Amino acid sequence: MSILSEKAGHDLFVYGSLQDPQVVYVVLNRVPDHVSAVLSGFHRFRIKNRLYPTILPDGTGEVTGKVLKGITDEERKLLDEFEDVEYDRKAVEVVLTDTSEKLQVETYVWANKDDPDLYGEWDFEEWKRDERETFITATKKFVEERKLPEAKTRIDTFKTFTKQDTSAEDGKPLDS
């Protein structure tokens, strides 16, 4: 691959479900090259009644994740649609785990910094064990439905896969 083609596209830091190659494949129909990275100054939260996490700046924390390399303009539009109105795409600086190189990338940050549904620390390994299959099923449903004239948002599609009881504290999938 030439240097030019390696530089083409956008680099995106992912820290939640999009770290999983199968999820990325369902959304983008490919798995871009990726490298491990750390984002400093942020905290990764669980979200009540959700199968995915979010991040917000906290000044001191570190969030591990991956940088997806070479995201096309069309893929970025699709990811914006997938992340929906809950997230804002922001420019951030990450440090690559293998080389300590600093890289300017974009990532999705929770739009509502005062959301009372954010809590604790989200764990990727726990998510893979407990929620991955439900998340992949919900993502496939979203991708299928987005092609329809009456397509639902990702938020609305995913609501059918999680408990919506406001008294539930864990936000676990229906089959938990």
Active site residues: 83
118-to-127, 153, 159, 167 alpha-carbon distances in Å: 16, 21, 17, 14
CA separation for the pair 50, 57 (Å, rounded): 20
CA separation for the pair 16, 144 (Å, rounded): 22
CA separation for the pair 162, 49 (Å, rounded): 6
| Cβ neighbours, 10 Å, residue 112 | 14
Amino acid at 118: L
Q: Element (H or E) spanning 67, and its range?
A: strand 54-71
121-to-48, 56, 101 alpha-carbon distances in Å: 12, 12, 26
